[in-house]
Amino acid sequence: MRATAFFLGLVLLFSSPAFSQGRAPRKIRVGVPSISVGNIVIFVAKEARLFEKHGLEAEVILVQGSGIASNAMMSGNLDIAPVATPTVINADLSGSDLVILAHTMPSVVHALMVRPEIRRPEELKGKRIAVSSPGSLTDFLVRHIMKKKGFNPDRYVTLTQISGDSERLAALIQGTVDGAALSYPAYARAQKFGFSMLWDSAKEINYPWMEVVTRRATIQRDHDMVLNYMKAHLEGIALFKRDREFGKRVIKKTLKLDDDELVSQSYELFARSFLPVPYPNIRGMSTSFEYVAQTRPEVWSHKPEEYADPSFVEELEKSGFIKRLYERP
């Protein structure tokens, strides 16, 4: 009986909140390929201490683009990052083991902004359109949507390479191009300058966006760490969607935005777009296959399911974890 009492005492001690809170949090390195509203959930989770809530000590590391983020993960310098779907596929075709756990947005937030006198796609003929580089996402989106509308982009327009959003917007303002492929909030700034949105890419193409990506080796080595990250990330989405003022404060702080109107617009757009139950968008990934096939035609011998693992979102949905995030207190 003494032994039994001693054992029960240990069980109570080790399962008590005091003991759980005393355990050292698991360190994790989270990559961020750009400071943008698309990546704001990571900063929401950091600001609200959601990582700590789920037993993690997260170091958020800024890297320049998905390519560098994927290389950093493969070299062991990052654990999780929002790597773009085509980058994941390209890396895995080269022998990596990256895997997509979630697509947190249903489509890319992107637009083609043009001079106000251009009102229809037909009026793009002979015009200069700024994209970042051949084979880039902006280049792919412009080409794909133009083809969808019945135009050959190589014959119909001149695609001009200009690296970043701010540089493409400057070229549009200066008149050196007639249109520019821009992400958010650059296209909102273009609207303030009087330019028109010829098309909203999110409405034209099923291109899942804002991934949560890790390595299969990381899942095998530390499944609980990945699951706890997903808990923090999904709770961050819920908090952002529920708490407008908190979400706006994080946007303003993270992006260093002084324009309150732009901050509000950013919040409304992304709070509406973030998915509460963000399964990997297998169907939409076929669009990424078209993108990858421009340089890696062998991708067509594979299936989108090979690059995704929906089990974490599935577990959190079936357990009721996600539902509880949206229940009123």
Residue 131 — pLDDT band, cuts 50, 70, 90?
Answer: very high
Higher pLDDT, 245 or 2: 245
% residues pLDDT > 70 (the chain) = 93
Which of these, 200, 178, 215, 255, lies nearest to 79 by C-alpha position?
Answer: 215
Query: Residue 13 domain-assigned?
Result: no
What pLDDT does residue 78 have? Answer: 97
Q: Among 239-248, 251-260, 271-280, 318-327, name the one with the lowest average pLDDT.
A: 251-260
Whether residue 136 is found in the same domain as residue 103: no
Last residue of a domain, one of 204, 239, 264: 204
What pLDDT does residue 22 have? Answer: 57
Mean pLDDT, residues 206-215 taken together: 93
Helix or strand or coil: residue 326? coil
| Digit-coded pLDDT (tens) for 304-320 | 999 999 999 999 999 99
Whether residue 159 is found in the same domain as residue 270: no
CB 142 within 8 A of CB 153: yes
Query: Residue 7 domain-assigned?
Result: no
Strand pairing partners for 197?
113
Whether residue 99 is found in the same domain as residue 238: yes
**Domain of 53?**
25-107+208-325
Last residue of a domain, one of 204, 223, 242: 204
Whether residue 114 is found in the same domain as residue 76: no
Mean pLDDT, residues 7-35 taken together: 65
Query: Residue 196 domain-assigned?
Result: yes
The pLDDT of residue 7 is above 80: no
Whether residue 285 is found in the same domain as residue 167: no
Mean pLDDT, residues 70-87 taken together: 94
Mean pLDDT, residues 4-10 taken together: 48
CB count within 10 Å of CB 188 equals 18
Mean pLDDT, the chain, as a whole number? 91
What is the spatial distance between Cα 317 and Cα 322, in angstroms, rounded to a whole number? 5
Whether residue 237 is found in the same domain as residue 179: no
| Digit-coded pLDDT (tens) for 132-187 | 877 677 888 999 999 999 999 999 999 999 978 889 999 999 999 999 999 888 99
Which whole-number Å values give the CA distances from 11 to 1, 8, 16, in the listed order? 15, 5, 8
Query: Residue 229 domain-assigned?
Result: yes
Last residue of a domain, one of 139, 171, 204: 204
The pLDDT of residue 8 is above 80: no
% residues pLDDT > 90 (the chain) = 76
Residue 25 — pLDDT band, cuts 50, 70, 90?
Answer: confident
Query: Residue 261 domain-assigned?
Result: yes
What pLDDT does residue 40 have? Answer: 95
